[in-house]
Amino acid sequence: MNIGAPTHSIADSPLRLRFDVFTLFPPLFESPLASSILKRALDLGIVEVALHDPRGWTTDRHRTADDTPYGGGPGMVLKAPPIVEAVESVLGTQIHATRCILLSAAGAPFTQSMASELAESTQIALICGHYEGVDERVREILNCEEVSIGDYVMTGGELPALVIIDAVTRLLPGVIERESIADESHASGLLEYPHYTRPFEYRGHTVPDILLGGHHARIAAWRREQAMLKTRRLRPDLLSTVSDPDAE
């Protein structure tokens, strides 16, 4: 199932990035990809998302994609052959030129800098784990990176895959105006400064006066200060990589 596949030749297409997603549950992707910024990127042909169910590469009549773990223990483990053969079949000669990511709670943290790096790719394969996990030989044979979107465990890799698709897609040229993402949280290492819009007063809370004067330099300095304060309050661990303007 391909979502956002170009209807004309690739040479004439604005296609910047193709995601190949390997999942036992393709329907989980349909609604998120049909809304908001992702839908626009797909409609413009900047991004293509192809969904592949590894069950299509099973060999038994029950299309079995999981089995009990060697060594005992609860739960089921996704088998290596269906996933490996699905990825090899779909990617073909492009397999060594494609970033292969296995979504795993044990993976390296997904960050904004990683999203920016992935946005330079032309093709990304996302393998969604499920149940108790994925046979380790999938990672070894396909040389996948293991990536986690946070220090918690989810039912499967489908939602993390959507997080990566969203975070990377919005960075691609033509999807969102560059000015809109320049000062976002994590773009400069800091959390983003507070935003305000009309009405001026709401339930006794008013807009800071400095935002009303039109003095762009002072507004920029205030926003930087507020970003530092917010980061210090919520994510002090980020400050070690950010220079303090008071020290400059």
Give the CATH number for residue 121. Answer: 3.40.1280.10
Q: Determine which helix (DSSP H) or strand (DSSP E) holds 47, and give its type and residue range.
A: strand 47-52
Residues 162 and 194 in one domain: no
Distance of CA 4 to the CA centre of its chain: 17
Buried b (16+ CB within 10 A) or exposed e, 23-39: bbebebbeebbeeeebe
List CB contacts of 77: < 8 A, sequence separation 6 or more: 66, 67, 68, 69, 131, 132, 133, 134, 135
Residues 204 and 121 in one domain: no
174 in any annotated domain: no
Final residue belonging to a domain, choices 108, 139, 169: 169
Q: How many domains does the chain have?
A: 2
Q: Determine which helix (DSSP H) or strand (DSSP E) holds 227, and give its type and residue range.
A: helix 216-234
Whether residue 17 is predicted with pLDDT greater than 70 in this model: the reply is yes
Angle at 190 between CA 184 and CA 191, to 5 degrees: 60
What DSSP designation does 216 have? H
State mean pLDDT over 222-230. Answer: 95
DSSP letters spanning 117-183: HHTT-SEEEEEE-BTTEE-HHHHHHHTPEEEESSSS--SBSHHHHHHHHHHHHTTSTTTS-HHHHTT
Residues 122 and 149 in one domain: yes
176 in any annotated domain: no
Q: Rounded to two decimals, what is the model's pTM?
A: 0.88
82-86, 179-183, 186-190: the lowest-pLDDT one: 179-183
Residues 42 and 126 in one domain: yes
137 in any annotated domain: yes
Residues 137 and 231 in one domain: no
The CA R_g of the chain, rounded to the nearest whole Å, is 22
Distance CA 50, CA 131 (A): 22
State mean pLDDT over 170-187. Answer: 78
Whether residue 4 is predicted with pLDDT greater than 90 in this model: the reply is no
Final residue belonging to a domain, choices 138, 169, 200: 169
- List, for residues 31-48, the tens digit of each pLDDT value: 999 999 999 999 999 999
User: What is residue 189's predicted lDDT score, i.e. its pLDDT?
Assistant: 84
Strands 47-52 and 77-78 turn out to be unpaired
Residues 29 and 132 in one domain: yes
Distance CA 16, CA 122 (A): 6
Residues 35 and 138 in one domain: yes
State mean pLDDT over 151-171. Answer: 97
Residues 102 and 35 in one domain: yes
End-to-end CA distance of the chain: 53
Final residue belonging to a domain, choices 114, 134, 169: 169
Residues 140 and 223 in one domain: no
State mean pLDDT over 74-103. Answer: 97
What 3-state class would DSSP assign to 107?
A: strand
Residues 133 and 159 in one domain: yes
State mean pLDDT over 196-208. Answer: 97
Instruction: Tell me which residue range forms the domain holding 206.
Output: 183-247
User: What is residue 248's predicted lDDT score, i.e. its pLDDT?
Assistant: 38
State mean pLDDT over 65-84. Answer: 96
Which is higher by pLDDT, 6 or 61? 61
Residues 164 and 188 in one domain: no
